[in-house]
Amino acid sequence: MADGREILYFDETSVTRVATDDRELPHTTTASEARFDPLLGEWVVFASHRQSRTFLPPADLCPLCPSTAQRATEIPESGYQVAVFENRFPSLSTAAANTAATVTGSPLTPLRDGFGRCEVVCFTSDHDSSFAQLDPARARLVLEVWAHRSAELAGLDGVAQVFCFENHGEEIGVTLSHPHGQIYAYPFVTPRVAKISGNLARYRKAHGGNLFGDLLETERAAGLRVVAANAEWTAFVPPFARWPYEVQVFPHRRVADLPGLDAAQREAFATLYLDVLGRFAHRFDTPMPYIAAWNQAPTANSGAPREDWWLHLQLFSIRRAAGKLKYLAGSESGMNVFISDTTPETVAAELREVFR
């Protein structure tokens, strides 16, 4: 790209691409840093330069649409299937040094530069589409992209975890309405994955089994909270769901990360995921805002355990009823104790009824 960032195109069949980015752009710089919270044992990222990032532009100024003769965008080509590029306003960057120190005046607070990588994944060139409207072939291609980028980023020295996700809907905090997701390559293992990993180890020591596998087996056997399933995947509302509408999607055969999925699992995921997204889109009069979050194992270079990790997707919405959103109030935001206005069993039944 004009400022030195990398862009990649992914297509179902071979395409010759010759467009160039002729914009006059300043070199991308970041002011990110990560500070360690010694009370919670978690890293917090500060990225003050992101205050100036693009915020809800009109459709005719969307930076993720293909470029035209009249307007150059982030994507130089006049059309594309799936495009991936380095974020212009990244929270983390490989340009940052991966050095450690402490915060000035606070020796109890370790400090490190904002090393990592943030990528944008555009699912389609159609501005007015959504992931739920993709056909299975395109959804499969996006999965291939997630797997490809996960493998590439996991191989970077200093990357401990790769996180592929999509924020959908203005209510969820989306600042660009074009169908897209993001990928973060963290220099540390995230709090969620670290906590789950600890519980996996304790469960194996106490019961001799895999916590993920036993959870999946019991949910498939009960069927009470299963929303949809096929030969390779099951989507169910977890019995401990925190969000008003939450579904977790597990492959029946354990793999640690997206690159580990075989051809049958990849093919079957596309159809099941589109089914579940369709239920989220049609549960109410308008599509639900949601976050789709891939939970992958830490990278092989992280030093963290991977052997018990079971890849899964967490899909959740903050909509609790028609015209009503779930806000994280005192208990949730202050103490991280979620109080739900729905029950997992009712939500699963409601989602099963969609399309009947």
As to burial, measured by CB atoms within 10 angstroms (0-12 exposed, 13-18 middle, 19+ buried), residue 164 is buried
Collapsing DSSP to helix, strand or coil, 316 comes out as strand
Structure tokens at 129: 């589409």
Phi, psi of 121 (to 5 degrees): -115, 110
Other Cβ atoms within 10 Å of 113 Cβ, number:
20
Residue with tokens 């007015």: 128
Distances in Å between the alpha carbon of 277 and those of 188, 215, 236? 30, 22, 13
Please tell me the distance from the alpha carbon of residue 256 to that of residue 53, in angstroms, as a whole number: 34
Give the sign of the dihedral formed by CA 165, CA 169, CA 172, CA 173.
Answer: positive
**On the CB side of 27, how many CA atoms lie within 13 Å of its CA?**
4
Residues contacting 336, CB < 8 A, separation 6+: none
Q: Is 180 a catalytic residue?
A: yes
Structure tokens at 1: 């790209």
Q: C-alpha angle 166/285/321, rounded to 5°?
A: 75
Please tell me the distance from the alpha carbon of residue 22 to that of residue 107, in angstroms, as a whole number: 46
Exactly one of 168, 178, 180, 312 is catalytic; name it.
180
Residues contacting 271, CB < 8 A, separation 6+: 136, 139, 230
Structure tokens at 12: 């179902």
Distances in Å between the alpha carbon of 323 and those of 100, 135, 161, 246, 315? 47, 29, 36, 18, 20
**On the CB side of 293, how many CA atoms lie within 13 Å of its CA?**
13
Other Cβ atoms within 10 Å of 224 Cβ, number:
13
Residues taking part in catalysis = 180
